[in-house]
Amino acid sequence: MIRASSFFSDQERKNISEAVAEAERRTAGEIVPVVTTSSGDYDRSEDIVGLWFAAITLAVLWWLRLPQAGPGEWERPVVGVSWVGLLITIGAMVAAFIVGAALASHVGWLRRLFTFRSQMQREVQRSALRAFFEHGLRETEERTGILIYLSLFERMVHVTGDRAVAERLADDDWREVRDLILNGIKKGNPGEGMVAAIKRCGDVLEKHFPPRPDDKNELPNELCIMD
């Protein structure tokens, strides 16, 4: 699974920081880009994968124990179950469950396959809100902070604005910001996508929150990484 710390190159991080500084020179807003490896633990999805592995193992063992009847021998009874065989079966199922759960914890697409999209959306929104407070966006003087939150496991982007921003702009205004990042990732240029999204945020904020004569940079311009 891709880690947030290795998703952007050093040059891309530098370009992102410069884009934030440039966008903030045109507006009184504060823009904070954040990238995280995952917004949730999704332990239940790992358990589901483990159960599937255990069920498949049981089916294979059961098939192997079936008698190999020839023509006219279909009425032969199934081989009886011994205590040793039962213990072997249980042990194999437990081992398969552990292997499946461990595999899902390291293979993103496998765990995502057994995770509902609605659950991922809730986790991204919850984690983005926490990041909003942790990175000081709630403490800007004019309440014009903007969080651009990219969650890699879920492949989702969440843009959140503080009170002054939310009063003038709706969620639809940030749809293009989200799409610029996702399209950049799909094209193999995540850094360019994030830079384009930051510039777009600057364009939107400039119309409603032009820079003040006494405006100052209240928050760092660097990309925030949450592994």
Q: Report the candidate in 102, 86, 135 with the shortest Cα–Cα distance to residue 1.
A: 102
Tell whether 66 and 33 lie within a shared domain: no
130 and 201 fall within a common domain: yes
Picking from 113, 128, 155, the residue at the C-terminal end of a domain is: 113
What is the pTM assigned to this prediction? 0.79
Query: In one letter, which amino acid is 7?
Result: F
Q: Would you place residue 57 in the very low, low, confident or very high pLDDT band (cuts 50, 70, 90)?
A: confident
Whether residue 52 has pLDDT greater than 60 = yes
Give pLDDT, residue 53. 86
Q: At what angle do helices 190-208 and 10-25 cross, to 10 degrees?
A: 10
- Over residues 82-92, the pLDDT tens digits come to 667 778 788 88
Regarding whether 100 and 131 lie in a shared domain, the answer is: no
Same structural domain, 144 and 187: yes
CB 46, CB 107: distance < 8 Å: no
Lowest mean pLDDT among 93-97, 154-158, 211-215: 211-215
- Based on the fold, state whether residues 90 and 129 are members of the same structural domain: no
pLDDT of residue 88: 79
How high is the pLDDT of residue 60?
85
| Residue 191 pLDDT class (50, 70, 90 cuts) | very high
Total count of domains within the chain: 2
Average pLDDT on 125-129 reads 94
- Tell me how far apart the alpha carbons of residues 140 and 30 are, in angstroms, rounded to a whole number: 8
Say whether pLDDT at 211 is over 80: yes
pLDDT tens-digit map of 136-177:
888 788 888 999 999 999 999 999 988 888 888 877 778 899
48 and 141 together in one domain: no
**What is the extent of the structural domain holding 127?**
4-40+116-226
